[in-house]
Amino acid sequence: MKRIAVLGSTGSVGRQTLEVAKSFPDRLKIVAITGGRNSALLSQQIEQLTPRAYYSLAPIDFSPGFANTGIYRAASLEEIATLDDVDIIVVATSGKAGLLPTIGALQAGKTVAIANKEVLVMAGGLVMEAAVTGGGTVLPIDSEHNALWQCLRGESIDSEWKGQVSRLVITASGGAFRDYQIDKLSEVTPEEALRHPTWQMGVKITVDSATLMNKGLEVIEAAWLFNLPLDKIDVILHRESIVHSLVEMKDGSLKVLLSCPDMHLPIKYALSYPERWEDESMPVLELDRIGSLAFGELDSSRYPCFRLALSVAKKGGTYPAALIGADDAAVQLFLEGHITYLKIPQLIEEVIQAHINTANPTIHDVLEAEEWGRKYVQRSLDG
Ligand code: MG
């Protein structure tokens, strides 16, 4: 029995993690969950699952008659992530919320299944260092990285493994505006940005998919997870989101992973690893019905956010954290109707230009840079 803590259990990946756990009651036990502002859903989840512990950012009310005695309310996410009886922490929070608990869990030698890519983008070096010093393990849930991990399995991943791989290729659907004429992008609404062509996801990541910020962040995420230089990681346009990523070998072979675009699958792989568990509820990929799959070159001129993400990756230091804060704030302003869609990359670019870098940052430096980037964008609206 694997004992699981789910950070962000009310979000999209968190809810799907609880569904996966429900399908395997003899193998997975949810011992702790945490939620942010959706305390109504969190209280329902607690009443159904009766975990040993929970953390809630917002005040929380239980149904009259629910006896929550024996369920412990933790004081922080870090406390949940380092509970003695937790084996795997699923980090399904968004933004910077997952950073401290991820590092705490890895320092405590635990396995962290990470869906919160901002954590790796902001502080990949610190996260991977915590895994080495604490003896913890990082397993990727992000579908592309989960696919890369699966493709790399069976290859000799020792200090020489890079010698066998010439390139990682991440697929991109192109997001909600892939077929829009560029001159129409100035008028697009939040509702249009939230219509992702292939994936059902949370609100912030769906807008990040439209701008392709998400894909830029995924390149940085892959560089940290697989310890590869940025120039060994490419992105290819693939409209159907059936091929989740590709690993190009030096001998000319290409290993790819195909599956239906359904996050239950990468979540389940991370939780069942190193095994694979039979699951009749998973849709089978019927290639004969799909017929054909399309691939193409990414037109990066359509996606300034993608270029901005890659630019901060090269700069390093606290630049990626400043970008994360700026993007989070800019997407929020767009969703609230305060700025246009095209203003998102403009504001982020201003932040990058104004940022004063700290090389080799501490966790404190990273969090401070994220907050600085966020405030910079929010202030630009006032003035
Ligand atoms: Mg992804």
* Nearest to 146, CA basis, from 266, 268, 293: 266
Burial of 271-290, coded b for 16+ CB within 10 Å and e otherwise, reads bbbeeeeeeeeeeeeeeeee
Query: Does 79 fall in a domain?
Result: yes
- Chain-centroid distance, C-alpha 331: 16
Task: Report CA(66)–ligand 1 centroid distance (Å).
Answer: 38
For residue 159, pLDDT beyond 80: no
Task: Report CA(224)–ligand 1 centroid distance (Å).
Answer: 15
Tell me how far apart the alpha carbons of residues 8 and 294 are, in angstroms, rounded to a whole number. 34
E strand or H helix at 191, and its extent? helix 190-193
Query: Does 230 fall in a domain?
Result: no
For residue 366, pLDDT beyond 90: yes
Across 150-159, 229-238, 364-373, least confident range: 150-159
Task: Report CA(189)–ligand 1 centroid distance (Å).
Answer: 23
For residue 369, pLDDT beyond 70: yes
For residue 182, pLDDT beyond 70: yes
Task: Report CA(122)–ligand 1 centroid distance (Å).
Answer: 16
pLDDT on residue 196? 82
pLDDT on residue 146? 98
How confident is the model over 66-110, as pLDDT tens digits? 987 789 999 999 999 999 999 999 999 989 999 999 999 999 999
**Regarding beta strands 243-249 and 254-258, do their DSSP bridges make them parallel or antiparallel, or are they unpaired?**
antiparallel
Q: What percent of the chain has pLDDT over 70?
A: 98
Query: Does 203 fall in a domain?
Result: no
Task: Report CA(190)–ligand 1 centroid distance (Å).
Answer: 20
Query: Does 252 fall in a domain?
Result: no
Paired tokens of 309: 């993400």
How confident is the model over 194-233, as pLDDT tens digits? 988 787 778 899 999 999 999 999 999 999 999 989 999 9
For residue 383, pLDDT beyond 70: no
Amino acid at 112: V
Paired tokens of 56: 């809630």
User: Which one has a higher pLDDT value, 361 or 198?
Assistant: 361
- Mean residue pLDDT across the chain: 94
Q: Report yes or no: 194 and 259 within 8 Å, Cβ to Cβ.
A: no
Please tell me the pTM assigned to this model: 0.95
pLDDT on residue 63? 93
Task: Report CA(78)–ligand 1 centroid distance (Å).
Answer: 25
Task: Report CA(37)–ligand 1 centroid distance (Å).
Answer: 24
Where residue 321 sits, what CATH number does that domain have? 1.10.1740.10
Query: Does 171 fall in a domain?
Result: no
Domain limit, last residue, from 108, 140, 172 = 140
Tell me how far apart the alpha carbons of residues 104 and 65 are, in angstroms, rounded to a whole number. 36
How confident is the model over 114-134, as pLDDT tens digits? 999 999 999 999 999 999 999
Residue-by-residue DSSP string for 100-126? HHHHHHHHTT-EEEE--HHHHHHHHHH
Where residue 11 sits, what CATH number does that domain have? 3.40.50.720
Task: Report CA(363)–ligand 1 centroid distance (Å).
Answer: 25
Number of domains in the chain: 2
Query: Does 338 fall in a domain?
Result: yes
Task: Note down the domain range covering 78.
Answer: 2-140
How confident is the model over 241-287, as pLDDT tens digits? 999 999 999 899 999 999 999 999 999 999 999 999 998 888 889 99
Task: Report CA(241)–ligand 1 centroid distance (Å).
Answer: 10
Neighbour-count burial of 44, counting CB atoms closer than 10 A to its CB (0-12 exposed, 13-18 middle, 19+ buried): middle
Task: Report CA(269)–ligand 1 centroid distance (Å).
Answer: 15
Query: Does 377 fall in a domain?
Result: yes
Query: Does 67 fall in a domain?
Result: yes
For residue 315, pLDDT beyond 90: yes
Tell me how far apart the alpha carbons of residues 90 and 111 are, in angstroms, rounded to a whole number. 9
Q: Respond yes or no on whether the N-terminal peptide bond of residue 274 is cis (omega within 30° of 0).
A: yes
Number of H helices, E strands in the chain: 15, 11
